Amino acid sequence: MSTTTNDRVLQLFKESDALLQGHFKLTSGKHSEWYFEKIRLIEKPAALEKIIDLLVEKIKAESPDFDYVVSPAYGAIAIGFLTALKLGKKFAFTQRVEEKMSFRSGFSGIDGSRAIIVEDILTTGGSIQEVVACLKERNVAIPGIYVLVDRTGGAVPIEGKPVGGLLALKIEAFEPDVCPFCQKGIPLIKPGASDKKV
């Protein structure tokens, strides 16, 4: 993926208000220049569609052979569904049933098929690993794993292979006493703390 494409994707995320740049207090208590508010992607379908168009281009270019797009509930359902629609493939989602990632029983055609996984953000890879395990139980081959945003900057391979991130963005978080944005006196924003408009 070229830098130009990364920049274009970054711009689309900013336009959708899903990616905010400023000075944020994360739930960990650390401070960061970036905050990802993924609910905005679903809230603004037209903005999401432009991002998905780029993901679709990437998947087409890499041309994995597959039948299904599979995404974990709930945040990635709209993302995976739109991707499947544009690629002319089937779609299925996984959800946690008593803590275990599972398919809804209605997705009967998934067994023994080929599926790519599409997820919104790669942070630790935990939920994708769970989807992989779920697909393997159903004897599904996985020729590709894609995320819109790879927050690890390629540092977390899954099943020994790199994940196809549309946007690679290594988000640095700082302890408050060494935060460069605090030192510059930039006002700190605690996301979700109020109904503020951003």
Residues that bind Zn ion (CB under 5 A): 31, 179, 181-182
Q: Which two tokens stand for residue 132?
A: 């992989």
- Distance (Å, rounded) from C-alpha 141 to C-alpha 161? 14
Residue nearest to Zn ion (CB): 179
State the minimum distance, in angstroms, from the CB of residue 83 to Zn ion: 36
C-beta of 87: minimal distance to Zn ion in Å? 42
Closest distance to Zn ion from the beta carbon of 9 (Å): 26
Cβ distance to Zn ion smaller for residue 11 or 21 = 21
> Coil, helix or strand for 175?
coil
Task: Return d(Cα 158, Cα 77) in angstroms, integer.
Answer: 20
Beta strands in 45-193 (DSSP E): 68-72, 90-97, 100-103, 114-122, 141-150, 164-168, 173-174
Instruction: Kindly state the smallest distance separating residue 192's Cβ from Zn ion, in Å.
Output: 17
